[in-house]
Amino acid sequence: MSGALDEDAARQMVMRTPQTEALGFQFLSVSPGRGAIRAPWRAELVGDPETQVIASGVVTTLLDHVCGLSIRAAEAVPQGTLDLRIDYMRPARARADLVAEGHCYKLTRTIAFVRAQAHDGDPDDPVATAQAAFALREGGAAWGR
């Protein structure tokens, strides 16, 4: 158990790693078991110059990071991704920022279960959804054993 994740620590987690800095991720919010991150549209993140849509690899990274943030917000520390299933529902809009929202809905002693989605402005019309399981560091979960 790691204790509650405050906004400053969450912001550091989202914005201060080489990968998230390179991708320009922005911290949006954190609450118990939940987190949100934005990936602002930039030309260098585009997967197809004709469509001007953020590349699918950026979407995958965004969803993976919001899952980790949600686990930390549930007062647990993820060790590694065990399973990450992503369903791409539709292409994002051209030149659109993406927002990912995650929810850690179940913690056991050793595993965290998370659902997340990425959208380009309408949470009811996601670009992609994710279902994930993460191994937890020794000490496990604060709740839900």
Residue 144 resides in a domain: no
| pLDDT, position 132 | 98
Domain residue limits at 77 = 7-136
Residue 142 resides in a domain: no
Q: Given its phi and psi angles, is residue 139 left (phi above 0), alpha (psi -120 to 50 degrees) or beta?
A: left
Residue 23 resides in a domain: yes
Digit-coded pLDDT (tens) for 78-128: 889 999 999 999 999 999 999 999 999 999 999 999 999 999 999 999 999
| pLDDT, position 16 | 85
CB-based contact 36:29 (threshold 8 Å): yes
Residue 115 resides in a domain: yes
> For residue 3, is pLDDT > 70?
no
Residue 114 resides in a domain: yes
Domains contained in the chain, number? 1
Q: What is the pTM of this model?
A: 0.91
CATH of residue 81's domain is 3.10.129.10
Residue 143 resides in a domain: no
Residue 78 resides in a domain: yes
The amino acid at residue 2 is S
> For residue 144, is pLDDT > 60?
no
Residue 2 resides in a domain: no
